[in-house]
A and B are shown apart, each in its own frame.
Chain A
């Protein structure tokens, strides 16, 4: 990539891909933005025309909106806490020399390969079902009243399901980070009189900050848009107890057939994601600098 000619050629070669990707992103975004300013309800096809900011106004003043917002943030935060701490714990365990290490590692990674809908259904029907679920059986075996997780603690249950899916991801990233920890540093600390706990606090934790940052950033992106798990388990309910922003957008546009309102919700979700991204980068982005 040294000469002027090769730079021009490189630009020409790359441009089709860039233009395609840009179009792929810009066209839906522009259409969503366009729809969000229209009166566009599938139940009411005769009513049309420009709506101004009405769609945004109704979406933001919808009583479900504030709950969906807090649910979204609770879901992201809850799953992050579980996966980061659980991931560090699991990575520390998997880093130990144990018999059957390879098999154990594959088992730990397995949940990540299960589709979200499938794993949520398995949790719903095999574990959390108050009649046939494993947890109900365990409770009955101990003489306790079975607990209907999805009815009484819907958001917490979804957090558990989603955390179970994402735990392998954080474990994997943190495990590789742990394995790159310098052995001589550990030995030097050992000679310096640092106990196992102190070595963890002063060497391992600082070493893991960058990996934890990567885990938080990537997971935040995906967790803001959790949808399948909610759809197949609680349908956002009871009421709106487990509705997050992306589920609310779905409910608005496909259950209420309000395309305009749904589009406005979509744009709000985009803005919201950018606000979250801004704060996350402010808080932990400096860890990524070398």
Chain B
């Protein structure tokens, strides 16, 4: 079981209110990702759930029990830190066994659990090494192993992949998703990378300046962003926003259109523009098109598009994919 509920949770550092009153439900077995720009309070929120920070106000309950003032160790949650926080003088085996030892488990029972966890994480060959002799990915797995053996109600991940190189990050992303499928335990994952959020989450919580902007499945956020912030944050490359006369023509003060929802043509279309920089990724080409009266519009085209700098192109918006936003930034 691992249902976490936050009710009116507030966090203040001195006079600064970093998290205004906030409500959130995390269901049992869910993979929830907190995503937002740096400084949006997502790590603080995770640390509040973990119990590493005191809540200034409000109630955090785990499995229906009020855990607001419960010390971290008693909450039954396990955390994987950004720096992995492995104990440098202990071997991998001792690192993974540490929480079991602290819980007073017999050495034999602990050894059995460590072996099992090491097998799941492909760490068996490294059990007698020290963290200093491991690569980044292996350290990450040890940190996860230390969390797994406790059989927690929920896992908390604090930007666990940000110290890895790009290729390894993709691998570990898959491994963590696999792990979630096998364990079916609640996972709360903090990241600033919207790609990680989109690929891993059952439910994404988009945070901005401590406030929850929108909660929903990845595709809900992609298809129906609640406001300009979510629309701009989710999706890569970023959604194009247009204001002024062109927007009014579509019946809203601001409209948004994703680069992949614009059709490119060499002959005719809604907007005429000149190609600026074009980024060739092989599978796709991102064109930055300068459209008079509108501005720079990013367009996603096929990999074979041969548009060059200075070429004139026509753009057509897919009418059913246009997002309309009111004057307050909320979606209409």
Which chain A residues have a beta carbon within 8 Å of chain B's beta carbons?
182, 184-185, 187-195, 198, 202-203, 206-207
Interface size class of B (residues with CB under 8 A): 20 to 34
B89 and A189 form a contact (CB under 8 A): no
A190 and B85 form a contact (CB under 8 A): no
CB nearest to B82 among chain A residues? A184
CB nearest to B143 among chain A residues? A188
Given the complex of chains A and B, what is the CA–CA distance between A184 and B88 in angstroms?
12
- B95-122: contact bitstring with A at CB < 8 Å (1 yes, 0 no)? 0001100110000000000000000000
Report if B144 contacts A (CB, 8 A): no
Main secondary structure on A side of the interface with B: helix
Report if B83 contacts A (CB, 8 A): yes
A192 and B81 form a contact (CB under 8 A): no
B103 and A193 form a contact (CB under 8 A): yes
Given the complex of chains A and B, what is the CA–CA distance between A190 and B51 in angstroms?
10
Per a CB cutoff under 8 Å, which of B50, B82, B87 touches A191?
A: B50
Which chain B residues have a beta carbon within 8 Å of chain A's beta carbons?
50-52, 71-73, 77-79, 81-83, 85-87, 89-90, 98-99, 102-103, 146, 150
Per a CB cutoff under 8 Å, which of A187, A193, A207 touches B81?
A: A187
A191 and B52 form a contact (CB under 8 A): yes
B183: min CB distance to chain A, Å: 18
User: Of A190, A193, A207, which is in contact with the most chain B CB atoms at under 10 Å from its CB?
Assistant: A193
A202 to chain B: which residues have CB within 8 Å? Answer: 87, 90, 98
A182: min CB distance to chain B, Å: 7
Given the complex of chains A and B, what is the CA–CA distance between A185 and B88 in angstroms?
9
Per a CB cutoff under 8 Å, which of A184, A193, A207 touches B99?
A: A193
Given the complex of chains A and B, what is the CA–CA distance between A97 and B50 in angstroms?
23
B72 and A190 form a contact (CB under 8 A): yes
A191 and B102 form a contact (CB under 8 A): no
Given the complex of chains A and B, what is the CA–CA distance between A185 and B89 in angstroms?
12
Given the complex of chains A and B, what is the CA–CA distance between A229 and B89 in angstroms?
40
A191: min CB distance to chain B, Å: 5
17 A-B pairs (CB sep. < 8 Å): A187-B79, A187-B85, A188-B79, A189-B87, A189-B98, A189-B102, A190-B72, A191-B73, A192-B150, A193-B73, A193-B99, A193-B103, A194-B73, A194-B102, A195-B102, A206-B87, A206-B89
Given the complex of chains A and B, what is the CA–CA distance between A189 and B73 in angstroms?
9
B150 to chain A: which residues have CB within 8 Å? Answer: 192
| Minimum-distance CB pairs A-B, first 4 | A192-B99, A188-B85, A193-B73, A184-B85
User: Of B71, B85, B146, which is in contact with the most chain A CB atoms at under 10 Å from its CB?
Assistant: B85
Given the complex of chains A and B, what is the CA–CA distance between A185 and B86 in angstroms?
7
B102 and A188 form a contact (CB under 8 A): no
B82 to chain A: which residues have CB within 8 Å? Answer: 184
B73 and A190 form a contact (CB under 8 A): yes
B52 and A192 form a contact (CB under 8 A): no
A191 and B98 form a contact (CB under 8 A): no
B98 to chain A: which residues have CB within 8 Å? Answer: 189, 192, 194, 202
User: Of B72, B90, B103, B150, which is in contact with the most chain A CB atoms at under 10 Å from its CB?
Assistant: B72
Given the complex of chains A and B, what is the CA–CA distance between A188 and B80 in angstroms?
8
A2: min CB distance to chain B, Å: 30
B50: min CB distance to chain A, Å: 6
B86 to chain A: which residues have CB within 8 Å? Answer: 185
A189 to chain B: which residues have CB within 8 Å? Answer: 87, 98, 102
B276: min CB distance to chain A, Å: 44
B52 and A185 form a contact (CB under 8 A): no
Given the complex of chains A and B, what is the CA–CA distance between A87 and B87 in angstroms?
24
B98: min CB distance to chain A, Å: 6
A193 and B102 form a contact (CB under 8 A): yes
User: Of A182, A184, A191, A207, which is in contact with the most chain B CB atoms at under 10 Å from its CB?
Assistant: A191
B83 to chain A: which residues have CB within 8 Å? Answer: 182, 184
A207 to chain B: which residues have CB within 8 Å? Answer: 89
CB nearest to B156 among chain A residues? A191
B89 and A191 form a contact (CB under 8 A): no
B103 to chain A: which residues have CB within 8 Å? Answer: 193
